[in-house]
């Protein structure tokens, strides 16, 4: 009962269900129920999930507080989202983000505009993603930059000194 991520998924699924019902009293009742539960979710957790987003199986909100996912966002399979995350379109670029499968999105991360996050990527905490992220990449920063790409998750990240000496600088 205290899992805010579970409640966020219940509210999202109810909204998606109500949108797919044929017009009539059942759709109106389901939409009214969704609107009320979405308001309660927003008040309790400051989270807002658009019913028109598309989420794959295994979507997990590790800490489902203050998560905002806008309309038409596509999330792949087994995506993990931490708290204070925003995934939405922007006013100046048409399109919504597409997040691949097996992606981790760290706390406070913001993904804006028509960007694609590749499968297996990781978005670091408080990062601002406004460009595409390749599959398997780890990005951090404002704006987000790739710091590791295509390595196993257990491979150590090289220090700046090691990278500079390897490049002959």
- CA-wise closest residue to 68 among 28, 96, 31: 96
- Residue ranges of domains in the chain, CATH in brackets: 4-153 (2.160.10.10)
> How sure is the predictor about 14, in pLDDT bands with cuts at 50, 70 and 90?
confident
Q: What angle do CA 88, 94, 99 make, to 5 degrees?
A: 45
Q: What angle do CA 62, 67, 70 make, to 5 degrees?
A: 130
- CA-wise closest residue to 103 among 84, 88, 92, 116: 116
Model pLDDT, residue 10: 79
pTM: 0.77
Q: Which long-range contacts (CB under 8 A, 24 or more apart) does 91-100 make?
A: 96/70, 96/71, 96/72, 97/73, 97/129, 98/73, 98/74, 99/73, 99/74, 99/75, 100/76, 100/135
Q: Which long-range contacts (CB under 8 A, 24 or more apart) does 139-142 make?
A: none
The stretch 13-41 carries a mean pLDDT of 83
> How sure is the predictor about 2, in pLDDT bands with cuts at 50, 70 and 90?
low
> How sure is the predictor about 64, in pLDDT bands with cuts at 50, 70 and 90?
confident
Task: Give the H or E element holding residue 12.
Answer: helix 4-20
pLDDT above 50: residue 54: yes
pLDDT digits (tens, 9 = 90+) for 24-36: 888 888 888 888 8
Q: Provide Rg for the chain, Cα atoms.
A: 18
Model pLDDT, residue 122: 94
The stretch 111-119 carries a mean pLDDT of 94
Phi, psi of 40 (to 5 degrees): -60, -40
**Beta-bridge partners for 128:** 110
pLDDT digits (tens, 9 = 90+) for 116-157: 999 999 999 999 999 999 999 999 998 999 997 665 444 444
* Alpha helices, DSSP H, located in 21-144: 25-45
Model pLDDT, residue 157: 41
């Amino acid at each position: 009962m205290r899992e805010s991520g579970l409640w966020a998924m219940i509210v999202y699924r109810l909204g998606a269900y109500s949108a797919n019902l044929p017009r009539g009293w059942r759709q109106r009742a389901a939409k009214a129920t969704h609107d009320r539960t979405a308001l309660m979710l927003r008040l309790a957790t400051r989270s807002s999930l658009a019913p028109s987003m598309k989420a794959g199986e295994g979507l997990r909100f590790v800490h489902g507080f203050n998560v905002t996912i806008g309309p038409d966002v596509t999330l792949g399979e087994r995506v993990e989202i931490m708290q204070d995350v925003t995934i939405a379109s922007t006013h100046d670029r048409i399109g919504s983000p597409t997040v691949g499968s097996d992606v981790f999105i760290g706390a406070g991360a913001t993904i804006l505009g028509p960007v694609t996050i590749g499968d297996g990527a990781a978005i670091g905490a408080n990062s601002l993603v406004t460009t595409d992220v390749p599959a398997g990449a780890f990005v951090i920063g404002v704006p987000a930059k790739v710091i590791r790409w295509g390595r196993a998750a257990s491979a150590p990240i090289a220090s700046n000194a090691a990278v500079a000496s390897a490049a002959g600088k």
